[in-house]
């Protein structure tokens, strides 16, 4: 029996579905399983009323999408951004399912967020918004149900507000219901740098697989938030030269190499944690997208989705791309990169260090026993290296791109569990 395939107007959701359908067909997955895995289990939209500092009330739209709980509790971040909508959340939730599956951890996929501009809000306004959102989604989240984490424009502080709100609503401490918390409040050493550390580890493993030395490699990193900054610093520690970094204020380029330590110090002292005003030896400020077009060995797109598309891909000069963001390369851009011979390490392999780190924090919360940072990083590197080798070997043996290999390996695990569980009526 033929099953009608979903289409989407949202670019990211359309990309996620196209990648899924392509891999599923190549695997010979049944139409029944394709129908199940192409749809999310739950899409929740909530209104989030917030009293602003001037006494007015604004109502924001909030979302939480749970794509799959076949393997375990749903897992995925919560972002604060003006462009957040339910379709974006669904696409990212689906990617989280494959990311968790590929990583071999006992989670399904979810994602959520609030459509807002946090850069225009005070700390008190963000706190009131965070607590209201946590209360609205409380019925569908829990330690063994759905475990949110930080994402774009959220971090440890927001996770504290979320956790404290849920704990008060339920009358007891709920440390395992959110991850990405500060170390002082049930957080885990090593978690802050986990995603960027994992992205860089994939970059280094790629160089190793190609027989290249990190000390001879040049790098460009789009985005200097939590992921991009730690990706850059880890690559520098390995000996690579970072030629360009960027954030919403523009691209900062130096042929001598960016002083990443100085860049860290700059954003730490900037009131909005931005690179605005940053300078270093030989540094030149360029346009927002120029970081994508730097002539380098590895480009790490670590900002928002869709950055490399059919309009921008022609100017990309990097030999390899390691995706730090979710969906930074569109299918059209991916096809052109393939024709150009640019090897791409896909997002849900490269940036899975964050969710693996969240799994570590969750496991520590459940046991009440915390690891050292050395233990944490050692376990993270072991898993990231193993996952990279799994996908690399799969791609080489099947003669497919790494993205397709990663999708096939991830989908297979979820499909196997769906077969075992059957359809609950």
What are the tokens at 257?
Answer: 């190499």
Mean pLDDT of the chain, nearest integer: 95
Q: What is the CATH T-level fold of the domain 194-350, as seen in this structure?
A: Rossmann fold (3.40.50)
**For residue 1, what pLDDT is reported?**
45
3-state DSSP helix/strand/coil percent for the chain, to nearest 5?
50, 20, 35
> pTM of this prediction?
0.86
| CB-based contacts of 47-52 (< 8 A; 24+ apart in sequence) | 47/136, 48/114, 48/129, 48/132, 48/133, 48/136, 49/132, 50/125, 50/128, 50/129, 50/132, 51/128, 52/125
Respond yes or no: is residue 340 known to be catalytic: no
Q: Answer whether 326's CB lies under 8 Å from 336's CB.
A: no
Strand partners, 253: 244, 284
**For residue 6, what pLDDT is reported?**
79
Task: Summarize pLDDT for 4-35 with one digit per residue, the tens.
Answer: 787 777 888 988 898 899 999 999 999 999 99
Percent of the chain surpassing pLDDT 90: 90
Which listed residue (75, 99, 111, 181) is catalytic? Answer: 111
Closest Cα to residue 148, out of 189, 181, 124? Answer: 181
Helix H, strand E, coil C: the string for 176-210 is HHCCCCCHHHCCCCCCCCHHHHHHHHHHHHHHHHC
d(CA 77, CA 68): 15
Q: Is the pLDDT of residue 140 over 90?
A: yes
Q: Is the pLDDT of residue 424 over 70?
A: no
**For residue 2, what pLDDT is reported?**
53
Q: Give just the sign of the alpha carbon dihedral 196, 199, 202, 204.
A: negative
Which run of H or of E encompasses 146?
strand 146-150
Q: If you average pLDDT over residues 314-329, what whole number do you get?
A: 95
In order of 304, 335, 400, 402, the CA distances from 338 in angstroms are 21, 5, 11, 11
Q: What is the dihedral of CA 292, 296, 301, 306, to 10 degrees?
A: 40
> What does the domain layout of the chain look like in residue ranges?
40-176, 194-350
Closest Cα to residue 94, out of 115, 117, 76, 121? Answer: 76
Q: What is the CATH T-level fold of the domain 40-176, as seen in this structure?
A: Rossmann fold (3.40.50)
d(CA 15, CA 400): 18
Q: Is the pLDDT of residue 119 over 80?
A: yes
Task: Summarize pLDDT for 63-79 with one digit per residue, the tens.
Answer: 999 999 999 999 999 99
Task: Summarize pLDDT for 379-401 with one digit per residue, the tens.
Answer: 999 999 999 999 999 999 999 99
pLDDT tier at 425, thresholds 50, 70, 90: very low
d(CA 365, CA 266): 33
DSSP string for residues in 74-95:
EEEEEEEETT--HHHHHHHHHH
Q: Which residues contact 375 (CB under 8 A, 6 or more apart)?
A: none
Q: Answer whether 362's CB lies under 8 Å from 142's CB.
A: no
In order of 134, 142, 173, 241, 391, the CA distances from 185 in angstroms are 18, 18, 11, 36, 36
Query: Do 40-176 and 194-350 agree at the fold level?
Result: yes
For the purposes of burial, counting CB atoms within 10 Å of the CB of 210, is it exposed (0-12), middle (13-18) or buried (19 or more)? exposed
For the purposes of burial, counting CB atoms within 10 Å of the CB of 247, is it exposed (0-12), middle (13-18) or buried (19 or more)? buried
Q: Answer whether 154's CB lies under 8 Å from 77's CB.
A: yes
**For residue 10, what pLDDT is reported?**
84
Hey, is 329 helix, strand or coil? strand
DSSP string for residues in 252-316:
EE-TT---HHHHHHHHHHSTTS--TT---TT-EEE-TTGGGG---SEEEE-SSTT-B-TTTGGG-
Closest Cα to residue 292, out of 332, 351, 237, 337? Answer: 337
């Amino acid at each position: 029996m033929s099953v009608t395939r979903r289409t989407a107007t949202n670019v990211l959701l359309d990309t996620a579905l196209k990648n899924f359908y392509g891999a599923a067909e190549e695997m010979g997955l049944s139409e029944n399983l394709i129908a199940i895995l192409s749809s999310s289990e739950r899409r929740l939209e909530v209104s989030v009323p917030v009293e602003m500092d001037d006494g007015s009330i604004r109502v924001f739209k909030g979302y939480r999408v749970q794509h799959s709980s076949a393997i375990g509790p749903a897992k995925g971040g919560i972002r604060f951004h003006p462009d957040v909508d339910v379709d974006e959340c669904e696409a990212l939730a689906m990617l989280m399912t494959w990311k968790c599956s590929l990583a071999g951890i006992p989670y399904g996929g979810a994602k959520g967020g609030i459509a807002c501009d946090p850069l225009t809000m005070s700390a008190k306004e963000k706190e009131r918004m965070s607590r209201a959102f946590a209360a609205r989604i409380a019925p569908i989240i829990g330690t063994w149900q759905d475990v949110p984490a930080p994402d774009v424009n959220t971090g440890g502080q927001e996770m504290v507000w979320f956790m404290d709100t849920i704990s008060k609503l339920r009358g007891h401490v709920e440390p395992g219901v959110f991850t990405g918390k500060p170390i002082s409040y049930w957080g885990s050493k090593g978690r802050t740098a986990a995603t960027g550390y994992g992205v860089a580890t994939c970059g280094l493993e790629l160089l190793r697989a190609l027989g290249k030395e990190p000390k001879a490699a040049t790098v460009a990193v789009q985005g200097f938030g939590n992921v991009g900054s730690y990706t850059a610093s880890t690559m520098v520690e390995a000996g690579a030269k970072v030629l360009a970094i960027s954030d919403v204020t523009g691209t900062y380029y130096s042929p001598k190499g960016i002083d990443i330590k100085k860049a860290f110090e700059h954003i730490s002292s900037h009131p909005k944690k931005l690179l605005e005003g940053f300078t270093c030896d030989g540094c030149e400020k360029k346009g927002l997208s120029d970081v994508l077009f730097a002539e380098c060995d590895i480009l790490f797109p670590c900002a928002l989705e869709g950055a490399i598309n059919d309009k921008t891909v022609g100017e990309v000069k990097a030999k390899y791309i390691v995706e730090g963001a979710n969906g930074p390369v569109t299918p059209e851009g991916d096809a052109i990169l393939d024709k150009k011979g640019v090897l791409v390490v896909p997002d849900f392999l490269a940036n899975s260090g964050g969710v693996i780190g969240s799994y570590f924090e969750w496991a520590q919360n459940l046991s009440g026993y915390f690891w050292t940072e050395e233990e944490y990083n050692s376990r993270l590197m072991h898993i990231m290296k193993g996952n990279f080798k799994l996908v690399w070997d799969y791609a080489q043996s099947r003669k497919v791109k790494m993205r397709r290999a990663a999708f096939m390996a991830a989908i297979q695990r979820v499909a196997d569990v769906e077969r075992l569980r059957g359809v609950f009526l």
